[in-house]
Amino acid sequence: MRDNRQSGNKTWFILLGQNTSEYFDLNLTQEKQRMLVKELKSMSWDKIYHNQEKHYCFEDMQYIIDNRNKHTCFKSKVLSFEKQDSAIIGQMNMVFMTIDKFPPITEYHDMRLVEHSTFISGQSQVHVRTVNHADGTVSYEIRIESTNKEEAIGYAEKLGYKINEFKPNYLEHGAYYVMSLI
């Protein structure tokens, strides 16, 4: 089992990074990610998983194949979000789909090789990813997910990130978005 997410459930997410004047940078750097993983390993967890994965992206869908040959296909519908100084916090629905919804191999827009560790406690998960992008760059990313907003914020604060009061920007158009970290 890769994780405990279920299709259609509203989930809080926190993407750790840095808000710049031009964009929000999810790349924490290798040194910062290692420091945060060391902190995560010192905490108590119900389960910890590590996978090597291939992530294929097409329009608003993700197709993931892990090293145990598990196949997952989904969309992430972002319901609300807010960019803060060192995090993006928001709420989303994961919509899992049958694999036949993903187009043939010749139609991929993007493929990424991902080292992925998931730390799970109750309904909360911390995803640590080292992403090898198609253009040869590498990014070091961490995302926190939980059905409980306070729990998600608690994990961010344990990792040294200050989360301010959430003032959401609601998305009313119903479009799906692939968040770069997923």
pLDDT at 55: 85
pLDDT at 182: 40
What's the average pLDDT block by block, 10 residues per block, for the chain (182 residues)? Answer: 55 92 91 96 96 82 83 84 92 84 69 91 95 88 94 96 86 53 40
pLDDT at 180: 43
Tell me the C-alpha distance between 98 and 80, whole Å.
Answer: 26
Fold assignment, 10-170: mRNA Triphosphatase Cet1; Chain A (3.20.100)
First CA to last CA distance, the chain:
17
Residue 171 tokens, joined: 């998305």
pLDDT at 181: 40
Handedness of CA 37, 41, 42, 48 (dihedral sign): positive
Beta bridge partners of 113: 54, 132
Give the pTM. Answer: 0.84
Torsions phi, psi for 181 (to 5 deg): -85, -20
pLDDT at 18: 92
Chain-centroid distance of CA 38 in Å reads 19
Domain ranges within the chain, ordered by starting residue:
10-170
Closest to 178 (Cα-Cα) out of 105, 109, 84, 129: 109
Around Cβ 57, how many Cβ atoms within 10 Å? 19
